[in-house]
Amino acid sequence: AGIRQQPKDMPEEINRVLVDHISAQLFCCSDLAARNLAREGITNGVTVPGDVMYDLYLKMRHRFTPEETRTRFGLEKDAYIVATIHRDFNTDDPHALAAILDGLNCANKESDLEILLPLHPRTRKRIAEFDLENSLQHLRVVDPIGYLDLMSLTQHCAAVVTDSGGYQKEAYYAGKRAVVLMPDTGWRELVETGWNLLCGTDAEQIAHTITTALEATCHPENLFGEGNAGECILEALLA
Protein backbone atom coordinates (compact mmCIF):
# COMPACT_ATOMS: atom_id res chain seq x y z
CA ALA A 1 0.00 0.00 0.00
CA GLY A 2 1.00 3.63 -0.47
CA ILE A 3 3.13 3.19 -3.58
CA ARG A 4 2.66 6.21 -5.84
CA GLN A 5 4.00 6.79 -9.34
CA GLN A 6 3.51 9.34 -12.11
CA PRO A 7 1.60 9.71 -14.34
CA LYS A 8 -1.47 9.50 -12.15
CA ASP A 9 -3.72 8.37 -15.02
CA MET A 10 -1.91 5.04 -15.49
CA PRO A 11 -4.42 2.20 -14.96
CA GLU A 12 -2.25 0.55 -12.30
CA GLU A 13 -1.82 3.87 -10.48
CA ILE A 14 -5.57 4.49 -10.48
CA ASN A 15 -6.12 0.99 -9.12
CA ARG A 16 -3.49 1.47 -6.39
CA VAL A 17 -5.15 4.66 -5.15
CA LEU A 18 -8.67 3.23 -5.28
CA VAL A 19 -7.73 0.05 -3.42
CA ASP A 20 -5.83 1.96 -0.75
CA HIS A 21 -8.81 4.23 -0.10
CA ILE A 22 -11.27 1.36 0.43
CA SER A 23 -8.99 -0.89 2.50
CA ALA A 24 -9.23 -1.43 6.25
CA GLN A 25 -5.65 -2.62 6.66
CA LEU A 26 -2.77 -1.22 4.65
CA PHE A 27 0.66 -2.84 4.72
CA CYS A 28 3.42 -0.58 3.43
CA CYS A 29 6.85 -1.56 2.14
CA SER A 30 8.49 1.56 3.53
CA ASP A 31 8.06 4.67 5.65
CA LEU A 32 7.77 6.73 2.47
CA ALA A 33 4.75 4.69 1.37
CA ALA A 34 3.12 5.34 4.76
CA ARG A 35 3.77 9.07 4.37
CA ASN A 36 2.14 8.96 0.93
CA LEU A 37 -0.99 7.55 2.54
CA ALA A 38 -0.93 10.16 5.30
CA ARG A 39 -0.85 12.93 2.68
CA GLU A 40 -4.07 11.46 1.29
CA GLY A 41 -5.65 11.41 4.75
CA ILE A 42 -5.17 7.68 5.36
CA THR A 43 -3.67 6.89 8.76
CA ASN A 44 -5.93 4.25 10.32
CA GLY A 45 -4.90 0.64 9.76
CA VAL A 46 -1.52 1.60 8.29
CA THR A 47 1.56 -0.45 9.26
CA VAL A 48 5.04 -0.76 7.75
CA PRO A 49 6.06 -4.44 7.82
CA GLY A 50 8.50 -4.12 4.90
CA ASP A 51 8.62 -5.74 1.48
CA VAL A 52 7.57 -9.34 0.90
CA MET A 53 9.86 -9.35 -2.16
CA TYR A 54 12.77 -8.89 0.22
CA ASP A 55 11.46 -11.86 2.23
CA LEU A 56 11.55 -13.93 -0.95
CA TYR A 57 15.02 -12.69 -1.91
CA LEU A 58 16.46 -13.70 1.46
CA LYS A 59 14.65 -17.04 1.46
CA MET A 60 15.96 -17.93 -2.01
CA ARG A 61 19.46 -16.50 -1.61
CA HIS A 62 21.00 -19.85 -0.66
CA ARG A 63 19.97 -21.13 -4.10
CA PHE A 64 21.80 -18.39 -6.01
CA THR A 65 24.87 -19.68 -7.83
CA PRO A 66 26.62 -16.55 -9.11
CA GLU A 67 29.95 -18.10 -10.03
CA GLU A 68 28.48 -21.12 -11.81
CA THR A 69 25.84 -19.05 -13.59
CA ARG A 70 28.10 -16.28 -14.89
CA THR A 71 30.63 -18.92 -16.00
CA ARG A 72 27.86 -20.68 -17.90
CA PHE A 73 27.12 -17.38 -19.66
CA GLY A 74 30.82 -16.77 -20.31
CA LEU A 75 31.03 -13.67 -18.12
CA GLU A 76 33.71 -12.36 -15.77
CA LYS A 77 32.94 -11.07 -12.29
CA ASP A 78 32.22 -7.30 -12.20
CA ALA A 79 32.84 -7.12 -15.97
CA TYR A 80 29.25 -6.98 -17.22
CA ILE A 81 25.98 -5.09 -16.90
CA VAL A 82 22.59 -6.82 -16.88
CA ALA A 83 19.93 -4.98 -18.92
CA THR A 84 16.21 -5.76 -19.23
CA ILE A 85 13.75 -3.88 -21.45
CA HIS A 86 10.09 -4.77 -21.77
CA ARG A 87 7.81 -1.79 -20.97
CA ASP A 88 5.48 -0.80 -23.79
CA PHE A 89 6.56 2.86 -23.69
CA ASN A 90 10.14 1.73 -24.35
CA THR A 91 9.49 -1.08 -26.82
CA ASP A 92 6.53 0.17 -28.86
CA ASP A 93 8.15 3.51 -29.73
CA PRO A 94 10.82 2.92 -32.42
CA HIS A 95 12.72 6.10 -31.49
CA ALA A 96 12.81 5.22 -27.79
CA LEU A 97 13.86 1.63 -28.44
CA ALA A 98 16.59 2.69 -30.88
CA ALA A 99 17.89 5.25 -28.38
CA ILE A 100 18.01 2.68 -25.57
CA LEU A 101 19.95 0.21 -27.70
CA ASP A 102 22.29 2.99 -28.85
CA GLY A 103 22.81 4.01 -25.23
CA LEU A 104 23.67 0.45 -24.23
CA ASN A 105 26.14 0.21 -27.11
CA CYS A 106 27.75 3.51 -26.10
CA ALA A 107 28.05 2.28 -22.51
CA ASN A 108 29.64 -0.93 -23.75
CA LYS A 109 32.20 1.04 -25.75
CA GLU A 110 32.97 3.60 -23.04
CA SER A 111 33.14 1.21 -20.08
CA ASP A 112 34.49 -1.89 -21.83
CA LEU A 113 31.87 -3.87 -19.91
CA GLU A 114 29.74 -6.50 -21.61
CA ILE A 115 26.02 -5.76 -21.74
CA LEU A 116 23.97 -8.89 -21.09
CA LEU A 117 20.48 -8.44 -22.53
CA PRO A 118 17.96 -11.21 -21.81
CA LEU A 119 15.53 -10.32 -24.58
CA HIS A 120 11.84 -10.20 -23.70
CA PRO A 121 9.57 -11.56 -26.50
CA ARG A 122 7.87 -8.14 -26.85
CA THR A 123 11.25 -6.46 -27.25
CA ARG A 124 12.57 -9.04 -29.71
CA LYS A 125 9.45 -8.66 -31.85
CA ARG A 126 9.72 -4.86 -31.91
CA ILE A 127 13.44 -4.93 -32.72
CA ALA A 128 12.68 -7.03 -35.80
CA GLU A 129 9.65 -4.92 -36.71
CA PHE A 130 11.65 -1.66 -36.47
CA ASP A 131 14.67 -3.15 -38.30
CA LEU A 132 17.01 -2.59 -35.34
CA GLU A 133 18.85 -5.93 -35.39
CA ASN A 134 22.16 -4.21 -36.20
CA SER A 135 21.93 -2.45 -32.84
CA LEU A 136 22.38 -5.81 -31.11
CA GLN A 137 25.77 -6.64 -32.63
CA HIS A 138 27.83 -5.51 -29.64
CA LEU A 139 25.39 -6.70 -26.95
CA ARG A 140 25.24 -10.16 -25.39
CA VAL A 141 21.68 -11.10 -26.32
CA VAL A 142 20.21 -14.19 -24.65
CA ASP A 143 16.76 -15.70 -24.32
CA PRO A 144 14.67 -14.75 -21.27
CA ILE A 145 16.05 -16.22 -18.05
CA GLY A 146 14.39 -17.33 -14.83
CA TYR A 147 14.50 -15.81 -11.37
CA LEU A 148 17.38 -17.87 -10.00
CA ASP A 149 19.63 -17.24 -13.00
CA LEU A 150 18.79 -13.53 -13.01
CA MET A 151 19.48 -13.15 -9.30
CA SER A 152 22.66 -15.19 -9.60
CA LEU A 153 23.93 -13.02 -12.46
CA THR A 154 23.03 -9.88 -10.53
CA GLN A 155 25.32 -10.86 -7.64
CA HIS A 156 28.44 -10.52 -9.81
CA CYS A 157 27.41 -7.77 -12.26
CA ALA A 158 28.75 -4.21 -12.20
CA ALA A 159 25.33 -2.55 -12.49
CA VAL A 160 21.78 -3.05 -13.75
CA VAL A 161 19.80 -1.23 -16.45
CA THR A 162 16.08 -1.94 -16.37
CA ASP A 163 12.52 -0.74 -16.82
CA SER A 164 11.20 -3.42 -14.47
CA GLY A 165 9.55 -2.31 -11.26
CA GLY A 166 10.64 -5.40 -9.36
CA TYR A 167 14.16 -5.80 -10.71
CA GLN A 168 15.22 -2.29 -9.68
CA LYS A 169 14.50 -3.32 -6.07
CA GLU A 170 16.18 -6.70 -6.43
CA ALA A 171 19.29 -4.96 -7.72
CA TYR A 172 19.30 -2.90 -4.52
CA TYR A 173 18.95 -6.06 -2.43
CA ALA A 174 21.99 -7.45 -4.24
CA GLY A 175 23.97 -4.27 -3.58
CA LYS A 176 23.95 -3.18 -7.24
CA ARG A 177 22.97 0.24 -8.53
CA ALA A 178 20.32 0.41 -11.24
CA VAL A 179 19.69 2.80 -14.10
CA VAL A 180 15.89 2.91 -14.36
CA LEU A 181 14.60 3.51 -17.90
CA MET A 182 11.32 5.03 -16.77
CA PRO A 183 9.99 8.60 -16.39
CA ASP A 184 9.20 7.86 -12.74
CA THR A 185 9.32 4.96 -10.30
CA GLY A 186 7.14 3.82 -7.45
CA TRP A 187 10.31 3.12 -5.50
CA ARG A 188 11.25 6.74 -4.84
CA GLU A 189 13.29 5.68 -1.81
CA LEU A 190 15.94 4.25 -4.10
CA VAL A 191 16.15 7.42 -6.19
CA GLU A 192 16.01 9.90 -3.32
CA THR A 193 18.93 8.17 -1.60
CA GLY A 194 20.93 8.40 -4.84
CA TRP A 195 21.26 4.63 -5.17
CA ASN A 196 19.16 4.16 -8.30
CA LEU A 197 19.13 6.66 -11.15
CA LEU A 198 16.14 7.60 -13.31
CA CYS A 199 16.93 8.08 -16.97
CA GLY A 200 15.05 9.07 -20.11
CA THR A 201 15.41 7.61 -23.57
CA ASP A 202 18.24 9.73 -24.93
CA ALA A 203 21.20 7.58 -25.97
CA GLU A 204 23.85 9.96 -24.67
CA GLN A 205 22.02 10.42 -21.37
CA ILE A 206 21.67 6.65 -20.95
CA ALA A 207 25.38 6.09 -21.50
CA HIS A 208 26.28 8.93 -19.10
CA THR A 209 23.89 7.66 -16.43
CA ILE A 210 25.31 4.14 -16.68
CA THR A 211 28.79 5.60 -16.15
CA THR A 212 27.50 7.35 -13.03
CA ALA A 213 25.92 4.13 -11.77
CA LEU A 214 29.31 2.43 -11.95
CA GLU A 215 30.69 4.88 -9.38
CA ALA A 216 30.88 3.67 -5.79
CA THR A 217 28.40 5.17 -3.34
CA CYS A 218 27.09 4.33 0.12
CA HIS A 219 24.48 1.56 0.08
CA PRO A 220 21.38 2.72 2.00
CA GLU A 221 20.37 0.08 4.52
CA ASN A 222 16.95 -1.35 5.39
CA LEU A 223 14.81 0.79 3.11
CA PHE A 224 12.26 -2.01 2.85
CA GLY A 225 12.36 -3.71 6.22
CA GLU A 226 14.28 -6.54 7.81
CA GLY A 227 13.07 -9.43 5.66
CA ASN A 228 10.20 -10.52 7.90
CA ALA A 229 7.33 -8.67 6.23
CA GLY A 230 5.25 -11.80 5.69
CA GLU A 231 5.40 -12.72 9.37
CA CYS A 232 4.41 -9.20 10.41
CA ILE A 233 1.48 -9.16 7.99
CA LEU A 234 0.26 -12.55 9.19
CA GLU A 235 0.43 -11.46 12.83
CA ALA A 236 -1.55 -8.31 12.04
CA LEU A 237 -4.23 -10.24 10.16
CA LEU A 238 -4.62 -12.75 12.97
CA ALA A 239 -4.66 -10.16 15.75
92: exposed, middle or buried (Cβ count in 10 Å: 0-12, 13-18, 19+): middle
The residues with which 114 forms a beta bridge, in sequence order, are: 80
Report the Cα–Cα distance between both ends of the chain, in Å, rounded. 19
- Are the C-beta atoms of residues 43 and 35 closer than 8 Å to each other? no
Active site residue 120: no
User: Left if phi > 0, otherwise alpha if psi is -120 to 50, otherwise beta: which for 222?
Assistant: left
CB within 8 A of 8, min separation 6: which ones? 14, 17
- Exactly one of 21, 86, 208, 219 is catalytic; name it: 86
**36-57 burial, b if ≥16 CB within 10 A, otherwise e?**
bbeeeebeeebebbbbbebbbb
Please give the positions annotated as active site. Answer: 86
